[in-house]
Amino acid sequence: MTLVSAHSERWRRFSLITDHDHLIAIQTCLRDSPAPLLEHLSLLIGIPQEYNSPRTKYPGDCPVIFARGAPSLRFARLGGSALGNVVPPTGAISTLDLDGFERYYMEPSQFVSFLEAVPSLVNLSLGQLHIHHPRDPFQVTKQIELPLLRSLRICGPCTSPHLALSLLLLPQLESLILCELESFHSPVLPSVKQITIDACSFDEAAATNILLALPNITELTMELTPAICSMTTIPVDMAESRIPWPSLHTLTLRKMGARDVARLRIMVSTRIASDHAIQKLRLDRQSRTTLKKKLCLDWFKEQMTLENCDQPDAWPAGLGYDDPHWLMT
């Protein structure tokens, strides 16, 4: 690590995956390393193999790295043991990816304080980030406004996203990505236009909560979720004021199976009949093959624009270069 850190003045992107044994060396070698050009930082540090204790609170005081400053740092990912054990200068960061460990937890006040130090956030990802409910049910944690945030990704396994979302004021949030979650509760987020549902086992209650919390969705991406598909189907006699996602115009589907085809066709047909049609359908290879085998692909082509979409969308959108850690997932 000493040899690597000696070149920190020239770094523009620095990505490191290592095991927990190197944590102290990373803290020591990067503490005072100059990083005037650093734009992208990604640290994924393993968890001790013997770790099986009850949930532990993230440390209150976190060692700073690049203490001399990193004025160009815009992208930071802290994964595994990196979260809670190192923190870079955060004043200029616009994309922050916190990928924690399920045996650690944050107090609500810690979560708010952490984000208060990142005033320029545009993209935020929370993975395996447990936030404990206050022990005192009457304790109220102040909310934090993130006025620049446009994209929020929440990945499980973690506690319900409700607590995290209840602590955040997100007046300009446009895109919400949900990965590997089992439930969903949220305050109403009227500014959100795009939602991605990836490997989530949502039931009807969760689907209803999504529709109520996100009333203005225009673009939906998902592995076809029966509950969501059912909820976005429009019965003939439904009042205009109750139509789910009336502005929905783009649907992206992945990994569609044969049993999903009839459900999808019913949903699309009812939206056409109610003048709230899907205008664009984006499909991966598996979904296109499924529709061909069911002799339905031509029907969908007649109803809307079809596009190929074989690769999952990168996060954040518009990064402009390949993120080596994202390519490994």
Q: Write out the chain's pLDDT in tens, 329 residues.
A: 888 888 899 999 999 999 999 999 999 999 999 999 999 999 999 987 765 566 788 888 899 999 999 999 999 999 999 999 999 999 999 999 999 887 788 889 899 999 999 999 999 999 998 888 777 766 768 899 999 999 999 998 876 688 899 999 999 999 999 999 999 999 999 999 999 999 999 999 999 999 999 999 999 999 988 999 999 999 988 999 999 999 999 999 999 999 999 999 999 999 999 999 999 999 999 999 999 999 999 999 999 999 999 988 888 988 877 776 665 55
Are 167 and 307 part of one and the same domain? yes
Distance CA 224, CA 1 (A): 45
* Residue 45: Cβ-neighbour burial (10 angstroms; 0-12, 13-18, 19+): buried
Residues 64 and 141 in one domain: no
Pair 1, 129 in one domain: no
Q: Are residues 50 and 144 in the same domain?
A: no
Say if residue 152 is in the same domain as residue 30.
Answer: no
Co-location of 105 and 68 in the same domain: no
Domain assignment present for 324: no
Is 328 within the bounds of a domain? no
Domain edge (last residue) among 41, 74, 107 = 74
Does residue 139 lie within any of the structural domains? yes
Co-location of 89 and 68 in the same domain: no
Domain closes at, from 74, 105, 124: 74
Same domain, 219 and 158: yes
In whole angstroms, what is the distance from residue 80 CA to residue 313 CA?
24
Domain check: are 53 and 127 in the same one?
Answer: no
Same domain, 36 and 123: no
Sign of the C-alpha dihedral computed for residues 128, 41, 90 and 177 taken in this order: negative
Classify residue 322: in a domain, yes or no. no
Q: Is residue 329 in some structural domain?
A: no
Per-residue confidence (pLDDT) for residue 329, from 0 to 100: 54
Any domain includes 326: no
pTM for the model: 0.94
- Give the domain range for residue 69: 1-74
Q: Are 169 and 144 in contact (CB under 8 A)?
A: yes
Look at strands 151-155 and 305-308 and give their pairing. Answer: unpaired
For residue 80, give every residue at least 6 positions away whose Cβ sits within 8 Å of its Cβ, in sequence order, or none: 20, 44, 45, 46, 47, 99, 100, 101
Q: Which of 74, 104, 123 is where one domain is finished?
A: 74
Residue 323 is assigned to a structural domain of this protein = no
pLDDT for position 171: 98
Kindly state whether residues 55 and 96 are assigned to the same domain. Answer: no
Please tell me the total count of domains within the chain. 2
Residue 327 lies in a domain: no
Question: In terms of domains, do 10 and 111 share one?
Answer: no
